[in-house]
Structure 1
Amino acid sequence: MNQDSTQQKLARIERRAHELGFDGFGVADPDVGSAGLRFQKWLDDGFDGTMAYMKRGEDKRLDLNQVLPGVRSVLCLRMNYFTVPKSLDFLQDRLTGDISSYALDLDYHDVMTPRLQQLEETLLAEFPECRTKRYVDTGPVLEKPLAQKAGLGWIGKHTNLLTEGLGSWYFLAEILIDVDLPRSRPAVDHCGTCESCIDICPTRAIVAPYVLDSRKCISYLTIELKGVIPVEFRKAIGNRIYGCDDCQIVCPWNSYAVPTDEAVYQERQETRLLIDLMRLDDEGFRARFRNSPVKRIKRRGLLRNVAVALGNSGDPAAAPVLTAALQDAEPLIRAHAVWALAELLGDSALPLFETHLAEESDLDVLREIELVKTH
């Protein structure tokens, strides 16, 4: 196979990627190099929190041969999801829940995976004997370091990938292939002395430039964390009920963001009013968030977050719906409703607990009641 032929094939593959809606395309070698050492240090520091899958897939992330034996190249792809400009003004609308911009409509996994499959078909047509493996941020792949090597952007101080003239509002995907393809020119870091993302973080989760302690990150706390949200972070969460965009909102490079042509990422016209969301039963949750990334955290996770946001709203009108939540079948929801009612009503919330939780046995709920009594 001569190099000219490979280059021509790669050009056709890239053209097909753009036809499928991927606006960024590059090729990296599979060696993660020093990024692997940084990942190991991040794990050793415990910054992965309860995300056990990170540690579980450590060896594969460090050696992609364990993911696809004989891998020679990684095709890295980017898909823009930016729809409308976003500012921090959402913080003033305290009775409306904020959802991270990437999760406003269809689940990107469901959008991108079929397109990756089609691109794999193109790869197979160009290289009939090849073997491939695709991922949309769900596999044991250090996707951001590979994307930087593939020229798609550089890893910013907030640890998101950034691209000149585009910003960071996009998804990443990869196809591993056992064919040696021409490499792309790696991207260069253009963060300079800017630390806007570090300064804005509500929970100080960016503990050093390029280092994120997930355990403090609101995206982790509202999505990845399955249990009780630590008390020390609840007020900082504000009205964010799924993820957090603050570090991207203030990033100067995102002033260059260009809206996507993809209709699937436009916000669906349904309520984000906290009181309405707090009333959702199982059926209502499934209907409201069908095919949305939010479905991942299930009703119990969402209403946990909504309860915290209502506790931060400062509006006693939220008390009735939170009082009703004290009788929810999910202890996680009851526990956070206790905190929220105490935030809104102070000691006046105690009789509500005595009335509705007199026979409570769940330790998390009982612990929340005790915290209210002792503070």
Structure 2
Amino acid sequence: MGVTRPDAVPELAGRLADFLAAGRHGQMGWMAERTHWRGDPAALWPEARSVVMLAEAYTPDHDPLAVLSRPDLAAVSVYAQGKDYHDIVKKRLKRLGRWLIDQHGGQIKVFVDTAPVMEKPLAQAAGLGWQGKHTNLLSRELGSWFFLGAIFTTLDLPPDAAEPEHCGSCRACLDICPTRAFPAPFQLDARRCISYLTIEHKGPVDEELRELMGNRIYGCDDCLAVCPWNKFAQEAHEMRYRGVIDAPPLAELAMLDDAGFRERFSGSPIKRIGRDRFVRNVLYAIGNSGLAALRGVAQGLAGDADPAVADAARWAAMRLEARL
């Protein structure tokens, strides 16, 4: 944990404005909304005097890149392989917040991706880590694999020192990106990011990009997994972050209807993208698999009611036709 002031990152508004002006947020219209709050945490709750930033490790117990060499299986981002972290982290924040009030008074508000809060810059200001060249937060104690939560409080707590950047000349995260989503170090174009494409992007994905997605059907961990700072990553103690979904067969996932999808991913963050976007992603992976045996699976969805699913199915079937 670390403590910072709500106004500790005055450059936020300008950085956000540049990002939005370049259109790098893609279809995430919510990023352009309430920018007066997103760009100035002090405006979100003017009574707040301190922000307590907390990190919780979800470090994988396996090599998350190994599944990329298995074209018949689905690659799911490590953070989404267990129960939804929003629910787990928020309950812990509330519990800690109640303790803080009982001990010292004041008021609190807790946030886990539930408000226009720029968690990563605030976490860096609180000394938890720094935003690396891939724009994610890194830590010398936690590596890459941790969730962030914020407690805004009216208590005037002593702030911690901000963490400087420790990336040096390393380019591992930039060079491994399959879609070249980083225009420059410390800059991200979400429109080319596989995490954005599989989770946020509605409708068909450009063919140039879908060919580069491989078997990644929900999120992407490449830039996190390759970071050398992970040699210091701490073991995750919360077992609920694991085991709901690991690397299931693509053919099995493609057959899910809406009810089956909801049942399969109950309590998982995957549930929020809905069956149609999920199966669209699975079909892109099938098209990239090079496995002729999966062509029939794709053909069976060519008449799907969702246009993006049907388009993905036809594309996948055509890609695999040469394999027969």
Q: Equivalent of 1:226, from 202, 207, 222? A: 202
Would you say the 8 A contact 1:26–1:76 is kept in 2?
A: yes
The alignment status of 1:261 with 2:265, answered yes or no, reads no
For 2:13, the aligned partner's letter is G
Q: Secondary structure at the match of 1:41?
A: helix
Q: Which whole-Å CA distance do the structure 1 matches of 2:76 and 2:64 have between them?
A: 13
C-alpha distance 246-191 of structure 1, shift in aligned 2 (>3 A): same
Give the Cα separation in 2 of the matches to 1:89 and 1:271.
Answer: 10
- Indicate yes or no: 2:6 matched with 1:45: no
Residue 71 of structure 2 aligns with an amino acid whose one-letter code is: R
Cα distance in 1 for residues equivalent to 2:317 and 2:77: 25
Amino acid at match of 1:287: E
Q: CA RMSD in A?
A: 1.6
Match of 1:239 among 201, 212, 215: 215
Aligned to 1:95: 72
User: Which residue number corresponds to residue 137 of structure 2?
Assistant: 161
Pairwise CA distance, 1:56: 0.0
CA contact (8 A) 2:67 2:247 kept: no
Give the Å deviation of 1:165: 3.0
User: Residue in 1 aligned with 2:189?
Assistant: 213
SS of match in other structure, 1:206 = coil
1:326 aligned to 302, 309, 312, which one? 302
Q: Indicate whether 1:78 and 2:55 are aligned.
A: yes
Number of the residue aligned with 1:110: 87
8 Å Cα contact 2:108-2:152 kept in structure 1: yes
Higher relative contact order (CA 8 A, sep 6+): 2
Structure with max Cα Rg: 1
Q: Does structure 1 residue 294 correspond to structure 2 residue 270?
A: yes
For residues 47 and 236 of structure 1, the distance between their equivalents in structure 2, rounded to whole angstroms, comes to 19
Q: Does 1:283 align with 2:259?
A: yes
In structure 1, how many angstroms separate the alpha carbons of the residues matched to 2:13 and 2:169?
Answer: 25
- In the alignment, does 2:44 pair up with 1:59? no
Flag the 1:123–1:177 CA change in 2: closer, same or farther, 3 A: same
Tell me which residue corresponds to 1:120.
97
CA distance in 1, matches of 2:167, 2:214: 28
1:270/1:102 CA distance change after superposition, 3 Å: closer
Post-superposition CA distance 1:327-369 (Å, at most 9, x none): 2222221111011111111599xxxxxxxxxxxxxxxxxxxxx
TM-aligned CA deviation for residue 232 of structure 1: 1.2
1:137-157 Cα deviation digits (max 9, x unpaired) = 231111111100101001100
Change (3 A) 1:323 1:45: same
Rounded to whole Å, the distance in 2 between the matches of 1:269 and 1:235 is: 24
Letter matched to residue 48 of structure 2: V
Q: Shift of the alpha carbon at 1:166? A: 2.0
| 1:250 aligns to 2:192 (yes or no) | no
Q: Distance in 1 between matches of 2:215 and 2:247?
A: 14
Give ranges in structure 1 of 5+ residues lacking alignment. 1-24, 349-375
315-324 or 151-160: which moved more? 315-324
Q: Which amino acid aligns with 2:209?
A: F
Aligned residue for 1:181, secondary structure, equals coil
Q: Which residue of 1 aligns with 2:119?
A: 143
Q: Give the secondary-structure state (helix, strand or coil) at the position aligned to 2:235.
A: coil
CA distance in 2 between partners of 1:227 and 1:149 (Å):
37
How many residue pairs match? The answer is: 323
Contact 1:205 1:213 in 2 (8 A): yes
The SS at the match of 1:335 is helix
SS at structure 1 position matched to 2:211: helix
Identity %: 45
Runs of 4 or more consecutive aligned structure 1 residues displaced over 6 Å after TM superposition? none
CA gap of 1:269–1:63, structure 2 versus 1, over 3 A, is closer
Return the TM-score normalized by structure 2: 0.96
Task: After TM superposition, give the deviation of residue 269 of structure 1 in Å.
Answer: 6.0
What whole-Å deviation, never above 9, does each CA across 1:169-205 have from its counterpart, x for those lacking one?
0000101112211001111211000011111100000
Using the TM superposition, give the Cα deviation of residue 87 of structure 1 relative to its aligned residue in structure 2, in angstroms. 4.8
Letter in 1 for 2:3: V
Query: 8 Å contact 1:64–1:71 — kept in the other structure?
Result: no
CA 79–45 in structure 1, closer or farther in 2 if over 3 Å, else same = same
Indicate conservation of the 8 Å contact 1:68/1:132, yes or no: no
- Once residues 54 and 234 of structure 2 are traced to their aligned partners in structure 1, the CA distance between those partners, rounded to angstroms, is 17
- Among 300, 315, 319, which residue is 1:343 paired with? 319
TM-score by length of 1: 0.83
Structure-2 separation of matches of 1:167 and 1:270: 21
**Separation in structure 1 between the aligned mates of residue 15 and residue 62 of structure 2, nearest angstrom:** 33
2-structure distance, mates of 1:262, 1:270:
16
Structure 2 CA distance for aligned equivalents of residues 269 and 173 of structure 1: 24
Task: State the 1:83 CA deviation.
Answer: 2.7
CA distance in 1, matches of 2:86, 2:123: 18
Partners in 2 of 1:271 and 1:86 — Cα distance? 12
| Letter paired with 2:292 | P
Report whether the alignment pairs 1:308 with 2:287. Answer: no
